[in-house]
């Protein structure tokens, strides 16, 4: 059996290493000649550590910072439990010890993220635009967020005074406006930028990203909706690749789609929650709140019903 992976981002590079280290014949191809270095360096620590251990990588060697709080709109302070900022660029360099090649195979993997270049297009896809800078700021090492109904801006510490500052929203103009609001809320200076770039993120849960499997093509990661309602796609995409790997070694590929849908039930709940907020459905959002709190308290920050209700009141 020959496996060909398209896309060497988070999920593709991980899956390649899992497969090649365990004796599979596998090729990988990416439209880039070197790994993507953009924002997206926030990881849910415990899950990421366990998953990367499978390919011999110790995430503790890549920690840039462990922010103490996540601060929402300058008003709500949530104690951080699990979010670490990892040097994603270095992790990707470590995993990119392959030659990119496209030789086809019996099994094709679509790991092309928001492009979803191999699987059929999704009806009513939902792609948000992102803008990101690397810049210098003089701030305590917390995660600073400014959110509105449709998107949010962030400042993530990279250590040594360097920060990722960015935003995602329906349009580029709105993302720029969110960054302006973030600067105003936290008094961030608008200078000392090392670079700027644009990106895209798919905000749809797996159940709305079907087909997940199409003939001999298997989707992993963001291509099949492994991104939470808050835009967390790193650990979920790794997890998705691991599920595919487990199905391959156990000769259970026919169970892959069902396992993805089952594993990421919490992503479905979070997207329901976000869409309730966006559509002004406060009662529905309140009903979903306990589940969201329970999930996020385990994988990111300590939430409470009171703080989350306060956040809801700011948005609806």
**Given the rule CB under 6 A, which residues bind ligand FAD?**
6-12, 29-32, 36, 38-42, 111-113, 115, 117, 130, 132, 166, 199, 201, 221-223, 227, 231-234, 237
Closest CA to 90 of 159, 148, 185: 159
Least distance CB 249 / ligand FAD (angstroms): 20
Q: Which is nearer to ligand FAD, 36 or 286 (CB)?
A: 36
Token couple for 227: 């991104």
Least distance CB 276 / ligand FAD (angstroms): 22
Strands (DSSP E) found in the chain: 2-6, 25-29, 42-44, 63-65, 69-72, 76-79, 83-86, 107-110, 127-136, 143-147, 152-159, 162-169, 193-202, 213-214, 217-219
CA distance 270 to 276: 10
Least distance CB 29 / ligand FAD (angstroms): 5
Given strand 127-136, what is the order of strands in its sheet?
Answer: 76-79, 69-72, 143-147, 152-159, 162-169, 127-136, 193-202
What sign results for the dihedral spanned by CA atoms 47, 85, 116, 35? negative
Least distance CB 271 / ligand FAD (angstroms): 14
Q: Which is nearer to ligand FAD, 47 or 272 (CB)?
A: 47
| DSSP tally for the chain: helices H, then strands E | 9, 15
Q: Which is nearer to ligand FAD, 154 or 273 (CB)?
A: 154
Q: Which is nearer to ligand FAD, 251 or 256 (CB)?
A: 256
Least distance CB 287 / ligand FAD (angstroms): 26
Q: Which is nearer to ligand FAD, 154 or 186 (CB)?
A: 154
Q: Which is nearer to ligand FAD, 45 or 186 (CB)?
A: 45
CA distance 173 to 217: 36
Q: Which is nearer to ligand FAD, 177 or 316 (CB)?
A: 177
CA distance 29 to 112: 10
CA distance 250 to 269: 29
Least distance CB 51 / ligand FAD (angstroms): 12
Token couple for 36: 């993507």
Q: Which is nearer to ligand FAD, 39 or 213 (CB)?
A: 39
Neighbours of 140 (CB within 10 A): 10
Least distance CB 189 / ligand FAD (angstroms): 21
Least distance CB 180 / ligand FAD (angstroms): 17
Residue 58, φ and ψ in degrees, nearest 5: -100, 110
Contact assessment for residue 75 and residue 170, using Cβ atoms and an 8 Å cutoff: no
């Amino acid at each position: 059996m020959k496996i060909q992976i398209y896309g060497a981002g988070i999920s593709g590079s991980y899956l390649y290493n899992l497969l090649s280290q365990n004796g599979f014949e596998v090729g990988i191809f990416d439209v880039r000649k070197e790994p993507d270095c953009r924002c997206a360096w926030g990881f849910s620590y415990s899950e990421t550590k366990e998953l990367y251990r499978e390919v011999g990588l110790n995430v503790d060697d890549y920690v840039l910072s462990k922010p103490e709080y996540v601060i929402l709109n300058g008003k709500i302070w949530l104690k951080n439990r699990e979010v670490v900022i990892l040097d994603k660029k270095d992790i990707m360099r470590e995993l990119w010890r392959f030659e990119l090649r496209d030789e086809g195979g019996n099994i094709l993997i679509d790991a092309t993220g928001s492009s979803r270049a191999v699987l059929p297009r999704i009806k009513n896809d939902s792609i948000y635009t992102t803008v990101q800078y690397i810049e210098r700021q003089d701030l305590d090492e917390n995660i600073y967020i400014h959110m509105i109904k449709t998107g949010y801006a962030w400042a993530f510490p990279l250590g040594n005074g360097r920060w990722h500052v960015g935003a995602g929203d329906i349009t580029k103009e709105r993302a720029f406006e969110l960054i302006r609001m973030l600067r105003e809320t936290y008094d961030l200076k608008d200078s000392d930028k090392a670079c700027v770039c644009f990106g895209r993120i798919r905000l749809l849960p797996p159940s709305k990203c079907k087909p997940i499997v199409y003939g001999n093509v298997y989707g992993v990661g963001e291509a099949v909706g492994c991104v939470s309602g808050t835009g967390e796609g790193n650990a979920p995409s790794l997890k998705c690749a691991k599920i595919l790997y487990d199905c391959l070694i156990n000769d259970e590929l026919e169970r892959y789609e069902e396992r993805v849908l089952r594993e990421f039930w919490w992503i479905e709940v979070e997207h329901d929650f976000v869409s309730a907020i966006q559509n002004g459905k406060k009662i529905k959002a309140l009903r979903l709140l306990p589940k969201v709190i329970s999930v996020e308290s385990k994988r990111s920050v300590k939430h409470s019903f009171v703080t989350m209700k306060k956040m809801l009141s700011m948005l609806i």
